Amino acid sequence: MSNIALIGEKEVIIGFNLIGFRLFPVTDYPEASKAFDACAKGNYEIIFITENIAELIIDRIEVFQRKSPVSICILPNHSKDSELNMEILRKNVEKAVGTDILFRKEG
């Protein structure tokens, strides 16, 4: 079994099974929530989530990140400009090193 999970729209994630990712194709909040629960309970080291789906379950992602060492990475959507990916990255770095070294403002 792969230790990398991928939650997202089927047409976006389908190719990743060729490199061994465990796929969780979803289309809406109930499916995304159920898939995220399955990933959270699984023995995954990394959970990738497409940006459109991450936006549906962002509150759950943030709660999970506070209490789990599992890395969550957001796959950006090429058709829109969103700061969700950078916010998740900032929180992961802050969790790892104890401070916001990427985006802190010098004053």
Q: Which two tokens stand for residue 37?
A: 């629960």
In angstroms, rounded to a whole number, what is the distance separating the alpha carbons of residues 53 and 98?
28
pLDDT confidence of residue 77: 75
The model scores a pTM over 0.85: no
Per-residue pLDDT reduced to its tens digit, 26-78: 999 999 999 999 999 988 999 999 999 999 999 999 899 888 888 898 888 76
For the chain, the average pLDDT equals 85
Q: What are the distances in angstroms from CA 55 to CA 49, 59, 60, 74, 105? A: 10, 9, 10, 10, 26
**Structural domains of the chain sorted by starting position, each given as residue range(s) with its CATH number in brackets:** 4-97 (3.40.50.10580)
